[in-house]
Amino acid sequence: MGWAFLGPICPRIKRNPGGHSPRLTAAALAIERKNAVMTGFERRLLERKDELEWLYMELYQDRDKLRELEQSMSRRYAQRPAALKRLDSRREKTPGWFLEGKMLGVTMYTELFAGSLRKLEEKLDYLREQGVTYLHLMPLLKMPHPDNDGGYAVEDFDRVDPSIGSNEDLEALTAAMRKRGMSLCLDFVINHTADSHPWALRAKAGEREYMDRYICFDTPDIPREMEKTIPDVFPETAPGSFLYVEEMGKWVCSSFHPYQWDLNYRNPAVFNDMVGSMLHLTNLGVEVLRIDATPYLWKEVGTTCRNLPQVHTLMRMIRLIMECVCPGVLLKGEVVMAPKELAPYFGTEEKPECHILYNSSTMCTQWSALASGDVRQLKKQLDDLHSLPPHCHFVNYLRCHDDIGWGLNEEFGKTIGQDPLAHKKYLYTFFEGSFPGSYARGERYNYDPKTQDARTCGTTASLCGIEKGLAEGDEAQIALGIQRDLMMHAAMMAMAGFPMLSSGDEIGQLNGYDYHDDPARREDSRNLHRTAFHWDNAALRTRAGTVQQRIWDGLRQLERLRAREDCFSRSASVSTWDTHNDHVLALLRRTETGAMACLFNFSGEEQTAVLDAIDGALFDLIGSEPVRCDSVRLEPYQYRWCRIVPTL
Ligand code: GLC
């Protein structure tokens, strides 16, 4: 079953549109009859079987493989530990659990933070002190060394890398976390394997069955044709999307690095096996699966090979499978795409796909607002998100292990006089510190000479000016850098969804330049912000006046308010509010019992904002002072979270 042969016959996906087929009615009857004696799994499968079968057969036309999948689901359910089944039941009763105000995420590399999974378990108290309820650990499954793209080249989807620990350590960690009310999120690198994965080795050895698991071609014609329309992921460090593999005498698709081979999702064996590995991880206690590089799963000649309809079929099937076997588990999509491409990954309210997505567009728009001091594009971006249906939820963040890609809403940018390319150039030169007057210290990432596009690396603290201030021993600059850093966090934490910090940001960790001297890491400037956690600096969080203490306390204040104030509960509605000032963003959070106005000055000058039509007086919970709606004064980069006290 070569990939090339299947190309033209694969249909465009049509979903069962209304869900009113006679088969469903039969299923509904069957549910009534059997409900009393069925296990949770059987009941859930019965409710979803029709749709799963419909999608699977449309994509694969292979009933035997469908049976095999259902058997593997049933087996995984039988193996699922009782404690996790109990968690599933609780989560089924509170599906929006991850939207509560007390939710706080942090993302980190196990090795950089603690060294190993076991040592990480010993550090859980630190995370608890920080208020963390959600921990995203970067890929930790078996990987080649040293070239593994930060763990995103996987050799065994069922086994923890021995340098980090064992499956038992992972299970012990998730159990310890559950006790403390923390959920573990792990990557599932669904799009590709390492070229040293056993499937790749067997493909290289000429085994047809394993070649069919990858996207391989006998001649370069189709790859050449496809290269014309596929944008490069790493134009500088790994250009192109195909490579010639001599052992096989074939051209193999590798969207990322040459040692990461894209899987062939036209082959149901790939889908079944990968789903089996996902369920294995969830049975070890992983509560959130981050589906890596989601948009890339389906390739078609003549397209960008991103966001194709079949990707949604795959994601919908995965959602159905998870709902049957482990309904408490969340799917988080890594969809770093233009804003208009994001919403389809939530599916519809009736047929959802991902529970949550990274808010990548807002993230980069927020950094753009900081550099320009102008919030119009950020307001537009948030207004667009607020108009999405209620089942669309985001993880908000400022920094993660990756670069900042400048995927702004260019059409809107033009309406406010922004030339898209000139603005992008401004942003990546500003944040690498080469733009005159810039306070930022970062680095450029993957400059593309064809488009002159580039991205940005660096930690929050360094990008906000703290590194420069410290290097120059200038207290005023340091104070302003801290103020920017906290304002950026305060804005991110006031948005709809839940916040996730990058480990180290809570103590203002700076860029690490040592990777320049490491031959295995120097090609990839994302290593600038992938540095060992500074435990010595973390100890300074309790010493008054240190940078660490000022940032730590500032963030803790925000986290406590989020956990305490009803306006951050999951029932809150969030909208932007006009401030009559392009430098100041305002967000309004409302519940049935209260309302809050959060204001952020993105500029380096003092500003005044005017809030119309607010029925009540404002009390700023950050500065503990009353504020006037018709004239809210904000110092450079000041933020205010104000309770609205109704006038009687
Ligand atoms: C995702 C990861 C990134 C990695 C890529 C390839 O985008 O976030 O770090 O390089 O996938 O797996």
pLDDT at 33 over 50: yes
pLDDT, tens digit, 9 for 90 and up, residues 400-427 = 999 999 999 999 999 999 999 999 999 9
| Cβ partners under 8 Å of residue 48, min gap 6 | 320, 323, 324
User: What is the predicted pLDDT for the residue at 24?
Assistant: 53
Considering only CA atoms, which residue is closest to atom 10 of ligand 1? 149
The CATH number of whichever domain residue 205 belongs to comes to: 3.90.400.10
User: In this structure, are 583 and 551 located in the same domain?
Assistant: no
Quick check: is 532 in a domain? no
Residues with CB under 6 A from ligand 1: 149-150, 152, 189, 256, 292-293, 334, 401-402
Question: Of 225, 245, 262, which residue constitutes the final position of a domain?
Answer: 262
User: In this structure, are 115 and 49 located in the same domain?
Assistant: yes
- Distance CA(258)–CA(195), nearest Å, equals 8
pLDDT at 98 over 90: yes
- Residue from 107, 143, 149 whose mutation best tests the ligand 1 pocket (most atoms within 8 A of CB): 149
- Residue from 140, 292, 337 whose mutation best tests the ligand 1 pocket (most atoms within 8 A of CB): 292
User: In this structure, are 153 and 220 located in the same domain?
Assistant: no
Nearest partner of 234 among 264, 265, 260, 213, judged by Cα: 260
User: In this structure, are 282 and 226 located in the same domain?
Assistant: no
In the chain, the N- to C-terminal Cα span, in Å, equals: 73
pLDDT at 17 over 70: no
Eight-state DSSP code of residue 405? -
User: In this structure, are 478 and 341 located in the same domain?
Assistant: no
User: In this structure, are 557 and 579 located in the same domain?
Assistant: no
User: What is the predicted pLDDT for the residue at 252?
Assistant: 98
Mean pLDDT of the chain: 94
pLDDT, tens digit, 9 for 90 and up, residues 352-402 = 999 999 999 999 999 999 999 999 999 999 999 999 999 999 999 999 999
Residue 4 CB neighbour total at 10 angstroms: 14
pLDDT, tens digit, 9 for 90 and up, residues 568-594 = 999 999 999 999 999 999 999 999 999
Quick check: is 229 in a domain? yes
User: In this structure, are 298 and 238 located in the same domain?
Assistant: no
Quick check: is 367 in a domain? no
User: What is the predicted pLDDT for the residue at 648?
Assistant: 67
Nearest partner of 617 among 628, 605, 632, 633, judged by Cα: 628
Quick check: is 200 in a domain? yes
Q: How many domains does the chain have?
A: 4
Cβ-count burial 548-571 (b if 16+ within 10 Å, e if not): bbbbbebbeebbebbbebbbbbbe
User: In this structure, are 305 and 200 located in the same domain?
Assistant: no
User: In this structure, are 203 and 237 located in the same domain?
Assistant: yes
List the structure tokens of 40. Answer: 């949770």
Q: Which atom of ligand 1 is nearest to the CA of 192?
A: 12
Eight-state DSSP code of residue 13? P
Ligand 1 centroid vs 121 CA: distance in angstroms? 26
Q: What is the mean pLDDT of residues 264-273?
A: 98
- Distance CA(132)–CA(135), nearest Å, equals 7
User: What residues make up the domain containing 594?
Assistant: 567-645
User: In this structure, are 166 and 53 located in the same domain?
Assistant: yes
Residues recognised as catalytic: 292, 334
The CATH number of whichever domain residue 514 belongs to comes to: 3.20.20.80
